[in-house]
Structure 1
Amino acid sequence: MPLSRQICGLSTQLLNVCIASLCKARNLEKAEAVLIDGIRLGCIPDVVTYNTLITAYCRFVGMDEAYSILYRMREVGIKPDVITYNSLIAGATRYCLPSRALELFDEMLQIGLAPDEWSYNTLMHCLFKTGYPEEAYKIYLDMILKNITPSSATYNTLINGLCKMGKAVYAVRLFRNLQKLGFSAGLVTYNTIIDGLCKCGRIDQARRILKELGESGCAPNVITYTTVMKCCFRWGKFEQGFEIFYEMMNKGYNSDVFAYCTVISTLTKKGMLTDANACVEQMLGNGIGLDKACYNTLLYLLCREGKLEIAFQLLNEMEEGGLEGDEYTYSILVNGLCKMGYIDAAFKQLRLMEVRDFKSNLVAYNCLIDGLCKVGEVDSAMKLFNKMKSKDPFTYTSLLHGLCRKGRFRVASKLLLTCLREGMNVLRSAQRAVITGLQSSGFKRDAGKLRTALRLAQLSQY
C-alpha cells in the first residue's frame, strides 16, 4: 500500500475519533469545525464520519437537522449505509415519530439497502413505543419472510413492547411459544416479563415466573426481587412483599439502597416505626451508603416521630456528605415543623427553599397553609395563598377548612367558586363544610347558589 494512502487512512481514522469525542461531549459546533479543518488538511471523511454526526444530531438537535446530513454526504460522493439509516430510525424512535421511521425504512429499500436485524428491531421498538403493536408485529413477520434470523434482542423487543403496552398476558403467551421453539431466555427477558405482570397487578403470576427463573439456572438479581416486592406493596400485599425482601436477603443478595428505601418507606407508612428503624440499622450495618431518596425517607420517619432535632442533624450530615437537599427534603421538614407548631421555623425553611430556587415549592406551601389554618392564623394563610404562583386542590381544601373553622363561610364560598372556575375539585368534606356553614349562618341563598355551581361543575366533567 502506498505511504500516502496509509497516511490518508490514518488521518481519516484520527478525524473520526476527534469528531466522535466532540459529539459525545455534545459540542457539535466544534465537531463541524474539525470536519472542515480536516478536509482542508487533506483528511477525506468517510461514511463513519457522517454516521457519527447523524447519531449526534438525532440525539441532541433534531431529526430534520440529522436528515440534512444525507444531502451533504451525497454532495461529496459518499453513499449512506445501513448504519446511517438505523441511526435515523433510532432518532425517529427517540422523538416518537412512527411515520418518519417507516418512511426511512422504505427509503432504505428504495435505494437498494437491505435492512439488517437492528433495522427491524429499532422499527419494532418505535411502533410499540408509539402505540402500534399490530404494525410492530407485522414488521416482525416481514423480518421472518426476508430470512433474517431474529436474535434474543428481537424477542426481547417484542416482549418488552407488549409489556409496555399493558399486554403482559400476550407477552407471556409469546414467551411460552418461543420456549417451545427452543428460545433460551436470559435474565433480561424474565425481568421484563415480571415487570410487565407487576404493572398489570398480576402478582401471583409474577411470583410464579420468579420461581421459574430460580429453577431455570438463571439466577434472579436485586432488580427482579425489588420489582416484585414493590408490586406487592403497591397492591396492598404487604406480607408477600416482606417475604420477597427476606427471601432476597436469605439467599445472600446484597440489597441495594433502593430496595431498602422501598421497605423502610412501606414500614413507615404502615406505622411500623420500630421495624423501620431496625431496617435502617441493618442497611447501614451492611455497608450500604445513603442516597438522597433514602435520606428523605429517614427525614420523613424522624419528622413523623417528632424528632426534629435529629432530623436537622441528619440534614447537616447529608449536605456535608455532598448531597444537596431537594424540594422534597425541605417540604418534609416544613411539614414536620408545622405539625409540631413551629410555624416561624417552617417559614424560615420556606424562605430557604425560595433562595435555592427549586422547581416547585407547592408541597411546602400547602403544608404551611395547612399548619397556619390549624393554629387559627387564617389571615396569614390567606396572604401566603395570594403569594403562591401555582395552587392545587389541596391548597384550596386546607384554606377552606381553615376559613370554616373561623366561621368565615362567605369568604370560603367565594374561594370555592374561584376554585371551580379554575377547574379544580376540592374534597367533598370541604364542600360540605362551606354549604353547612352558610346554611347555619342564615346565608341560605348563598348556599343554594353554591350547590348549583357545584352541580354544574360536576356535569361539565362528563
Structure 2
Amino acid sequence: MLKYGRSLSTKLLNICIASMCKAQQLMKSETVIIDGIRLGVLPDVFTYNTLIDAYCRFVSIDAGYSVLHRMKKAGIAPDVISYNSLIAGAARKCLLSRALDLFEEMLQSGIRPDVWSFNILMHCLFKLGKPDEANRIFQDVILSSVDPCPTAFNIVINGLCKSGYTSNALMLFRNLQKHGFVPQLYTYNILLNGLCKAGKLRAARGILVELRDSGHQPDAITYTTVMKYCFRYRQFHRGLEILSEMRSEGYTFDGFAYCTVIAALIKIGMIKEAEEIIEQMQRSGIEPDVVAYNTLINLYCKQGRVGDALKLLDEIEKSGLESDAYTHTIIIDGLCKAGDIEGARRHLNYMNTLGFGFNLVAINCLIDALGKEGQIDQALKLFESMEVKDAFTYTILVHNLCKARRFLTASKLLMSCLKCGFKTLRVTQRAVLDGLRDSGYTNEARKLQSKIRLARFIH
C-alpha cells in the first residue's frame, strides 16, 4: 500500500511539473520538486526528462544539459528519452556538431538509440541542407538495424522533396510500398506538395488519383496544395476544376483555400472571377482572418479602390485582429499607384507608430511612385535617408533616373549598386549605357562598362 501511495504521489508530481513546464513556469516547477522531496515524494526519470525538454525549448541547450548532471547526482540514470530531448534541442537551434556530440555521449553511456534518435538527426541534417548525410542514416541505420516508423519515412520523403530531390522521394515512396508500407494521408500530402513545387503536375495528379483509390479521404490541404500550384503554373482551368470538384465532393473548404484561389485570380487579372469567389466565401459564413483580409485589400488596391481597402483595415482593427506589415505594405503600394503620394507617406508614418519599424518594400514603392510622378529629387532624398537598401531599391531609382534623362546620376548609382555586390538586370545596365552614349558621355559609358564586367567576374 505504501509503495502504491508513493507511485501515485510521484505521478501527481509529474503531472504538476508537466503542466508548469508547458506554461513556461520553470522556476515554479523547480520549487514544486523541492517541496515534493521534503514531503518524501521523490522525482523519477520522467520528472527530469520533462525538465530537460522544457529547458531546451524555453531556455538553452546548456540549461537542459545541466539537468542531466542533477539526475546522476540523484542516483537516476538518464535514458534514451533524456538524450533525445537534448539532441532535439540542439537540432532546433541547428547545432549539428552539438547534436552529434550528444549522440556519441549517449552511445558511450551504453544507451541504445531508438528510431526517434535517428529521426531527430535526419531532420536536423535535412534542415541544414545535408540531404546525402540524412539519407545515409536512413539507408545504413534505420532500414538495417532499427524498426522504422511512418514518421521516419515522412521525414525522409519531406526532406528529399525540400532539397530538390523529388524524383528520389517518389522512388523511395514506391520502394517502401513494395515492402509493405501503407502511406497515410499526411505522407500523400507531403509528396503532393513536393511534386507540385517541382512542377510535376501530371505526377501529382496521379498521386491524387492513387490517394482516392487507397480509401483515404483528401482534406483541404490536399486539394489546396494541388490547386495552388495549378494556378502558379498557369493551369487556371485545372485549378478551378479542382475548386469545383472539392465543393461537389463535399470536402471542407476553409478560408485558406478561398484565399489561395482569390490571390491566384487577382494575380492573373481575373478580377471579376475573384469577386465571385469572395461572394461565395462570404455566403459560406467563413470568418475572415488576417490572411483573408490581406487578400481582399490586395484585390481592392488592384482595382484602385484604396478607400475600400482602408475601410477593411478599420474592420480588422475593430474585429480584434492584428494587421501585419504586409497589410500596410499593400495599402502603401495601392496609394502610390493611385498617385496619392502624400497619403502613402502618412500611412508609412502611421505604420511606424504601430511598431512595425523599417519596411524596405513599402519605401521602395514610395521611391518608385515619386520617380513616376516626376519628383525624382524627392526620390533621391528618400534614397539617401535609407539605412538599408536592396537591389530593387537601386533598380527602381536607376530606371526612374533614366526616364528623367539624368544618366550621369544613374551611372553613379549603378556603380554604387555593383560595388555593394547587388545584381542588376542587364536591361537596366543597357538603359544607362545607351543613355550615356546618346548624351555624349562616352568616357563615362566606358568606365561603367568596365565596372559591369568586373562585377560579373567577381560575382
- Alignment of structure 1 residues 177-188 onto 2, 5 Å: 177-188=175-186
User: Which residue of structure 2 lines up, in the alignment, with residue 12 of structure 1?
Assistant: 10
- Give 1:198's aligned amino acid: C
- Alignment of structure 1 residues 216-295 onto 2, 5 Å: 216-295=214-293
User: Which residue of structure 1 lines up, in the alignment, with residue 303 of structure 2?
Assistant: 305
User: Which residue of structure 1 lines up, in the alignment, with residue 363 of structure 2?
Assistant: 365
- Give 2:436's aligned amino acid: L
Instruction: State the shift of 1:285 in Å.
Output: 1.0
User: Which residue of structure 2 lines up, in the alignment, with residue 355 of structure 1?
Assistant: 353
Taking only the aligned residue pairs, the percentage that are identical comes to 53
Instruction: State the shift of 1:135 in Å.
Output: 5.1
Instruction: State the shift of 1:106 in Å.
Output: 4.1
Q: Which moved more, 1:326-335 or 1:202-211?
A: 326-335
1:64 correspondence with 2:82: no
CA contact (8 A) 2:367 2:383 kept: yes
Instruction: State the shift of 1:98 in Å.
Output: 4.1
Which deviations, in whole Å up to 9, do the C-alpha atoms of 1:109-168 show, x marking residues without a partner? Answer: 44333333433433443444442445544455544544x533333333333333333322
Please, which runs of 5 or more residues in structure 1 have no aligned partner? Answer: none
CA contact (8 A) 1:12 1:45 kept: yes
CA contact (8 A) 2:131 2:160 kept: no
CA contact (8 A) 1:133 1:161 kept: no
Please, which runs of 5 or more residues in structure 2 have no aligned partner? Answer: none
1:329 correspondence with 2:294: no
Pick from 294, 313, 316: which aligns with 1:315? Answer: 313
- 2: CA distance between counterparts of 1:188 and 1:339? 43
- 2: CA distance between counterparts of 1:70 and 1:386? 54
Instruction: State the shift of 1:20 in Å.
Output: 1.8
1:343 correspondence with 2:341: yes
Q: How many residues align?
A: 458
CA contact (8 A) 1:194 1:227 kept: yes
Pick from 378, 381, 399: which aligns with 2:379? Answer: 381
- Give 2:85's aligned amino acid: S
Which deviations, in whole Å up to 9, do the C-alpha atoms of 1:29-63 show, x marking residues without a partner? Answer: 33333333433443322111110111112212232
CA contact (8 A) 1:124 1:137 kept: no
CA contact (8 A) 1:353 1:361 kept: no
- 1: CA distance between counterparts of 2:416 and 2:112? 62
- Give 1:319's aligned amino acid: E
- Give 1:183's aligned amino acid: F
Q: Which moved more, 1:164-173 or 1:375-384?
A: 164-173
Instruction: State the shift of 1:375 in Å.
Output: 1.1
TM-score, normalised with respect to structure 2: 0.92
User: Which residue of structure 1 lines up, in the alignment, with residue 429 of structure 2?
Assistant: 431
Pick from 104, 109, 114: which aligns with 1:111? Answer: 109
CA contact (8 A) 1:378 1:402 kept: yes
Cα RMSD (Å) of the superposition?
Answer: 2.3
1:451 correspondence with 2:449: yes
Q: Which moved more, 1:201-210 or 1:61-70?
A: 61-70
Which deviations, in whole Å up to 9, do the C-alpha atoms of 1:178-225 show, x marking residues without a partner? Answer: 323332221112112212222222111011000111111111111111
Which deviations, in whole Å up to 9, do the C-alpha atoms of 1:260-304 show, x marking residues without a partner? Answer: 111111111111110010011111111122121221121111111
Instruction: State the shift of 1:103 in Å.
Output: 4.0
- 1: CA distance between counterparts of 2:351 and 2:19? 38
Q: Which moved more, 1:293-302 or 1:177-186?
A: 177-186
Pick from 395, 398, 403: which aligns with 1:397? Answer: 395
- Alignment of structure 1 residues 40-119 onto 2, 5 Å: 40-119=38-117
